[in-house]
Chains A and B, each alone.
Chain A
Amino acid sequence: MLIDILISAFLVISGIFGLVGSFGLIKLPDPMMRLHAPTKATTLGVGGALIASMLYFYFVVGNFSFHELMITLFLFLTAPITGHFIAKTHLHLMHKPADLPPTGTDRPWASYESDGERQSFEEAAKTGDA
Chain B
Amino acid sequence: MLRKLLPHPFLTLTLIVVWQMLVNKLTLGNLLLGTILALIIPVMTSPYWPNRPKLRSAPRIVEYVLIVLWDICVANVQVAYVILFKTNANTKPAWISIPLELRTPEAITVLAGTITMTPGTVSSDVAADGRSLLVHCLDAADPDAVRDEIKSRYEARLKEIFE
Contacts and interface: CB of A to CB of B under 8 A. Distances in A.
Interface of A: 17, 20-21, 23-24, 27-30, 32-33, 35-37, 39-41, 43-44, 65-67, 69-70, 73, 76-77, 79-81, 83-84, 87-88, 90-91, 99-111, 113, 117-118, 121
B117 A76 contact: yes
Contacts of A79: 116-117
A33 B91 contact: yes
B30 to A, nearest CB: 12
Is the contact region of chain B dominated by helix, strand, or loop, or is it mixed? Answer: mixed
A103 B130 CA distance: 10
B22 A103 contact: no
Nearest to A106: B129
Given A39-B117, A80-B123, A110-B127, 13 more contacts: A17-B80, A23-B84, A27-B88, A35-B136, A66-B24, A67-B24, A69-B21, A70-B21, A80-B117, A87-B124, A87-B125, A90-B124, A104-B127
A44 B73 contact: yes
Contacts of B127: 103-105, 107-110
Is the contact region of chain A dominated by helix, strand, or loop, or is it mixed? Answer: helix
